[in-house]
Each structure stands twice: as C-alpha cells, then as structure tokens.
Amino acid sequence: MAEQVLIRQGAEARVYKTTMPDGRVAVAKQRFSKSYRHPDLDAKLTRGRLNQEARSLKRCKEHGICVPEVIRVDKSSATLFIEFIHGPTLKEWIVANGNPDQENELMATVGRILHQMHSFDVIHGDLTTSNMILDSSNQLVLIDFGLSQISSSAEDKAVDLYVLERAFISTHPNSERLFATVLEAYSVSEAARLILRRLEDVRQRGRKRDMSG
C-alpha cells in the first residue's frame, strides 16, 4: 500500500488519501477505538458502523445514486477503502458561484438525488453541503455515509432533511431560496410530501429546543 496522506480527522475516524495496489487513488477511512468504552462493546460498535457505511454506499450504487465506489472493507484495521472523488464540494461551489440559474439547477439536482436515496430507505445521517462533491463530469456525488442507516421511517427521512436545512442556514447566509428549491424537487411523490409534512413537525421541535436553550 502506498503512503497515506491524512485529509481529515473527525470524532469517529481518520480519513486518508492513498493509492491502491492497482493504481487507483482512494480514500481510506479508518475508525479508531474509544478508550471510554468497554473493549468488546467498542469493537462491536466500530464493526457495526464500518459495515453499515459500506452497505449504505453499495445500496446507493445499486440504485444509480452517485456515491463513491466501495473498493475494500478491512475489518482487521476497521478501515473502509473507497473511490477518491476529485472536485469542489457543494459548499465551495455555492461560495464561488454567482449565477442564480445554475444554482437553481444544481439545487433541484440535490432534491432529486435525496428523493431517490430516501425512496430506497437510505438515511445519510450527516447531510451538509460539504458532504456533496461536483466531480470531473459535473455530477453531484454524495460522500461520508459514516452516520448512515437503513430506515423506512418518514421521521428519519425528515430529520435527514432538517440536518441539511440547518447546514444551509449555518453555512450559507440568505440561503432560504436554495433550500426551498431542494424541497420543491424532492416533493415529487406522495411519500415525499408526507416526509415534508413531518419535516415541519421536526422544525417545530427544533425551534422549541432553541427557545428553551
């Protein structure tokens, strides 16, 4: 294995850029142990999250949703090797872009992709504009499924959207129009419209929490 270059260290994993033996550039996401947990429980949780991330990515790939390809799952080192996606994040693109028509078109693409992902019961768990990349073909690719789960619950899907809405609010000032376009493109089925009604309930709970401190 080639030398690994640390890209990011989060609360759950270290993310490296590396090269596989066949020459492919890849991301190696290595989950690390938590010393405050019992070793057996820690190993079980780490293995479970590793396997779930790989399952979510594979399910998305099977249904034509643009995500990185899973190359290898190394359970002994709790490392997931996935395809490296080169390109700006959606966050970077929004900051650099000044064309409202292009923004609307891309936000509609986000909404359609999220509707498709949710229709196959994949919950991303950490939707932000930093976890979406525009690749070299100008396709929008969802990344970082480390908190993902498989669920048919409208509540879970609504919370997924709420997390993205909060990310827009905190990262992109005056972005209400952008997120409204995402939701408009998302709401193409009765199931989706039910999820959006549930989203309003989630918002109300969020506002109550904000008011109570």
Residue 21 phi/psi, 5° resolution?
Answer: -55, -30
Q: Are 205 and 211 in contact (CB under 8 A)?
A: no
Q: Are 57 and 120 in contact (CB under 8 A)?
A: no
The strand pairing partners of 150, in sequence order, are 122
Catalytic residue among 40, 126, 135, 201: 126
Eight-class DSSP state of 63: T
Question: Which residues, other chains included, contact 72 with Cβ-Cβ below 8 Å and sequence gap of 6+?
Answer: 20, 80, 81
Distance CA 121, CA 47 (A): 21
Distance CA 61, CA 66 (A): 7
Angle at 131 between CA 107 and CA 159, to 5 degrees: 75
| 126 included as an active-site residue | yes
Provide the token pair at 69. Answer: 């390809």
**Which residues are the active-site residues?**
126
